[in-house]
């Protein structure tokens, strides 16, 4: 591919759900755009995460674009929770249906975006030598797109078997039949893949540092009656999602957990456990703010684990104790706990016996050696800031985003950054993003950015930039709301705790999707309050 030298209205970085819809909207505004995508296919998260069992934990009828009624009416999901291949097919269908591919350049990583103050343009460079000058630079780089690589374990280079990261799974798949396999990590990716790998492997060793709370998905073929009902009223269904707390509608109540009897509480928990999915976290309004209320849900969970896992010592190890339920991302599984009843699965407690080193034939903990043929690292991502921090982004005065965020990300609304004019982030830190149905949050940001560019055009503005005061006030608000909850109590990727050396700060905005949307809309209605527009 010959490197391009080009001038466009906008560069979009990333061709996942966010980048594709942004491109579609910019075209609608008559703006020229070029999308750069590191992968050799579109789809972002759903392109890379092909590990066994990969599946969305938001229901299919919710986890899809709402911007085109024709699209949402014609597309047919097959399951309650769609598996990765089906979501990737959907994204590819959208790209074809809206003729998006002609502006997307694959296998190209943006390495640099530098703001030229004199020209008021972004100069963007890629790893293939492209140099593109754009008025707007829009980061659609994803929140969980930068895997923790290389895995931080000594001796990995000596390992003679094959190793994999769940977030960079080989496209041809992996057959573990007859192999002894180690999997490190017990987050969402591990919890989905462990039951599948256990069915294939000769033996599976699960290396757990922190147990997670996981709820059954009760996945099943999509109920045609449910599909018909939703499609008959999709507009209202979507509207309700947009003003909801997390971007999909969940049954909720105003009754605090501690105001009712233990039996009534457990009935509610049991009902939600039987329904399956993330709705469990909304059983009572005080679960994420009152430790004692939270403990009632946590104990319900621990009892469930004890009732499923036959070996009491293994059940005990799988039962989380040292952080409130919901403050690390809850997992949604199919047969996770039950998998530990299999003879070919061994749980290893890394808190008691940490990994010393990886060796040519396996790995060694402080207690013993494990001979394995393959290692699966399900160790997660440098979340929310990882993808952005790997691009050399320089704003006014040559300040890098990396420098600006040295003590943690600072944004206005999770969309813009003071000192970086005409740079936008889709679902950036400081917005609900990972605490919501991502598609709802993506569409909200893309629409907001498109409206903002329209406004700028109408005012004949050259550039729009968040003010430092507005940014500071928003960061303080994000922290205040986060600190009023139990979230900061957990060592989670929400706070950067999973990446050694990463500043600790609660990165997403917990105020709720509906309330956040209102705040963004109010800023726009007030002539983009908190932004400065420079004339052309």
Choose, by CB under 6 A, the member of 126, 189, 427, 437 that binds ligand N01: 189
Residue among 241 and 378 whose Cβ is closer to ligand N01: 378
Place of tokens 């039949």: 177
| CA 377 – CA 361 distance, rounded (Å) | 16
The answer to whether 36 and 110 have CB atoms below 8 angstroms apart is: yes
Residue among 207 and 420 whose Cβ is closer to ligand N01: 207
- Region of 23-31, 103-111, 188-196, 455-463 interacting with ligand N01 (CB under 6 A): 188-196
φ, ψ at 228 (rounded to 5°) = -60, -45
Helix (H) or strand (E) holding 472: helix 468-483
Q: Whose CB is nearest to ligand N01? A: 187
141 is a site residue for ligand N01 (CB under 6 A) = no
Q: How far is the CB of 439 from ligand N01 (least distance, A)?
A: 12
- Per-residue contact string for residues 6-45; x = within reach of ligand N01 by CB under 6 A: ----------------------------------------
Residue among 185 and 428 whose Cβ is closer to ligand N01: 185
Residue among 92 and 498 whose Cβ is closer to ligand N01: 498
- Region of 227-235, 276-284, 356-364, 378-386 interacting with ligand N01 (CB under 6 A): 378-386
152 is a site residue for ligand N01 (CB under 6 A) = yes
The answer to whether 38 and 105 have CB atoms below 8 angstroms apart is: no
b/e code 450-484 from CB counts within 10 Å (16+ = b):
bbbbebbeeeebbbbbbeeebbeebbeebbebbee
Residue among 100 and 332 whose Cβ is closer to ligand N01: 332
Residues near 102 by beta carbon (within 8 Å), at least 6 away in sequence = none
| CA 234 – CA 471 distance, rounded (Å) | 36
Choose, by CB under 6 A, the member of 13, 26, 35, 56 that binds ligand N01: 56
297 is a site residue for ligand N01 (CB under 6 A) = no
Total number of residues binding ligand N01 (CB under 6 A)? 26
- Region of 377-385, 407-415, 466-474, 507-515 interacting with ligand N01 (CB under 6 A): 377-385
Choose, by CB under 6 A, the member of 66, 108, 186, 411 that binds ligand N01: 186
The answer to whether 291 and 259 have CB atoms below 8 angstroms apart is: no
The answer to whether 481 and 510 have CB atoms below 8 angstroms apart is: yes
Residue among 493 and 531 whose Cβ is closer to ligand N01: 493
| Of 333, 316, 454, 375, nearest in space to 150 by CA | 375
436 is a site residue for ligand N01 (CB under 6 A) = no
Residue among 109 and 209 whose Cβ is closer to ligand N01: 209
φ, ψ at 398 (rounded to 5°) = 75, 10
- Region of 133-141, 178-186, 417-425, 501-509 interacting with ligand N01 (CB under 6 A): 178-186
**Torsion from C-alpha of 218, 17, 442, 24, nearest 10 degrees:** -140
Token output for 312? 């009491």
Beta-sheet pairing, 362-365 with 355-359? antiparallel
Q: How far is the CB of 329 from ligand N01 (least distance, A)?
A: 3
386 is a site residue for ligand N01 (CB under 6 A) = no
Residue among 381 and 424 whose Cβ is closer to ligand N01: 381
Q: What is the DSSP string of 324-355?
A: -TTSS--EEESSHHHHTTSTTEEEEETTTS-E
190 is a site residue for ligand N01 (CB under 6 A) = yes
- Region of 107-115, 264-272, 334-342, 373-381 interacting with ligand N01 (CB under 6 A): 373-381
Q: Is 16 helix (H, G, I), strand (E, B) or coil?
A: coil
The answer to whether 417 and 410 have CB atoms below 8 angstroms apart is: yes
185 is a site residue for ligand N01 (CB under 6 A) = yes
| CA 166 – CA 148 distance, rounded (Å) | 10
Choose, by CB under 6 A, the member of 15, 37, 43, 57 that binds ligand N01: 57
325 is a site residue for ligand N01 (CB under 6 A) = no
507 is a site residue for ligand N01 (CB under 6 A) = no
210 is a site residue for ligand N01 (CB under 6 A) = yes
| CA 245 – CA 510 distance, rounded (Å) | 9
Choose, by CB under 6 A, the member of 21, 300, 487, 493 that binds ligand N01: 493
- Region of 112-120, 374-382, 436-444, 511-519 interacting with ligand N01 (CB under 6 A): 374-382
- Region of 6-14, 53-61, 89-97, 112-120 interacting with ligand N01 (CB under 6 A): 53-61
| CA 168 – CA 339 distance, rounded (Å) | 24
Q: By CB neighbour count within 10 A (0-12 exposed, 13-18 middle, 19+ buried), where does 402 fall?
A: middle
Residue among 169 and 284 whose Cβ is closer to ligand N01: 169
| CA 109 – CA 418 distance, rounded (Å) | 25
Instruction: Name the site residues for ligand N01 (rule: CB under 6 A).
Output: 55-57, 144, 152, 166, 184-190, 192, 209-210, 329, 332, 350, 378-381, 434, 493, 498
């Amino acid at each position: 591919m010959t490197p391009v030298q080009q001038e466009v209205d906008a560069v979009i970085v990333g061709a996942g759900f966010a980048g594709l819809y942004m491109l579609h909207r910019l075209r609608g505004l008559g703006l020229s755009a070029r999308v750069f995508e590191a992968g050799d296919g579109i789809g972002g998260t759903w392109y890379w995460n092909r590990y066994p069992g990969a599946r969305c934990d938001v229901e299919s009828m919710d986890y899809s674009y709402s911007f085109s009624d024709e699209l949402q009416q014609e597309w047919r999901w097959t399951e309650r929770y769609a598996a990765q291949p089906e979501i990737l097919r959907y994204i590819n269908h959208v790209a074809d249906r809206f003729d998006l591919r002609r502006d997307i350049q694959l296998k190209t990583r943006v390495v640099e975006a530098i703001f030229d103050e004199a020209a008021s343009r972004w100069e963007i460079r890629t790893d293939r030598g492209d140099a593109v000058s754009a008025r707007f630079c829009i980061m659609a780089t994803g929140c969980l797109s930068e895997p923790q690589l290389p895995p931080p374990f000594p001796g990995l280079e000596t390992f003679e078997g094959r190793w994999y990261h769940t977030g960079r799974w080989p496209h041809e798949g992996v057959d573990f039949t007859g192999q002894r396999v180690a999997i490190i990590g017990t987050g969402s990716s591990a919890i989905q893949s462990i039951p599948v790998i256990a069915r294939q492997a000769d033996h599976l060793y699960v290396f757990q540092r922190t147990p997670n709370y996981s709820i059954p998905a009760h996945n099943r073929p999509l109920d045609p009656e449910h599909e018909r009902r939703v499609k008959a009223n999709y507009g209202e269904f979507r509207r309700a999602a947009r003003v909801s707390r997390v971007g999909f509608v969940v049954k909720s109540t105003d009754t605090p957990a501690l105001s009712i009897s233990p039996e009534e509480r457990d009935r509610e928990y049991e009902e939600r456990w039987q329904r399956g999915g993330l709705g469990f976290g909304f059983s009572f309004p005080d679960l994420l703010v009152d430790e004692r209320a939270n403990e009632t849900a946590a104990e319900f969970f621990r009892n469930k684990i004890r009732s499923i896992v036959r070996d009491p010592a293994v059940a005990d190890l799988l039962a989380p104790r040292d952080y409130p339920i919901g403050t690390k991302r809850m997992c949604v599984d199919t047969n996770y706990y039950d998998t530990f009843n299999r003879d070919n699965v061994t749980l290893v407690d890394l808190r008691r016996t940490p990994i010393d080193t990886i060796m040519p034939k396996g790995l060694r903990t402080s207690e013993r050696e494990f001979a394995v043929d393959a290692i699966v690292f399900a160790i997660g991502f440098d979340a929310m800031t990882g993808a952005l921090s790997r691009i050399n982004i320089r704003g006014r005065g040559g300040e890098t985003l990396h420098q600006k965020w040295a003590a943690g990300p600072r944004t206005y609304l999770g969309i813009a950054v003071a000192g970086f004019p005409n740079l936008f982030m889709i679902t950036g830190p400081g917005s609900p993003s990972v605490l919501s149905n991502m598609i709802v949050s993506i569409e909200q940001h893309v629409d907001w950015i498109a409206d903002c560019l329209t406004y700028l055009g109408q005012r004949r503005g050259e550039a729009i930039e968040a003010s430092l005061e507005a940014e500071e006030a928003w960061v303080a608000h994000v922290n205040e709301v986060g600190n009023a909850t139990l979230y900061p109590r957990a060592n989670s990727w929400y706070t950067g705790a999973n990446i050694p050396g990463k500043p600790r700060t609660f990165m997403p905005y917990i105020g709720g999707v509906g309330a956040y949307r209102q705040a963004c809309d109010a800023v726009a209605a007030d002539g983009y309050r908190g932004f400065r527009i420079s004339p052309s």
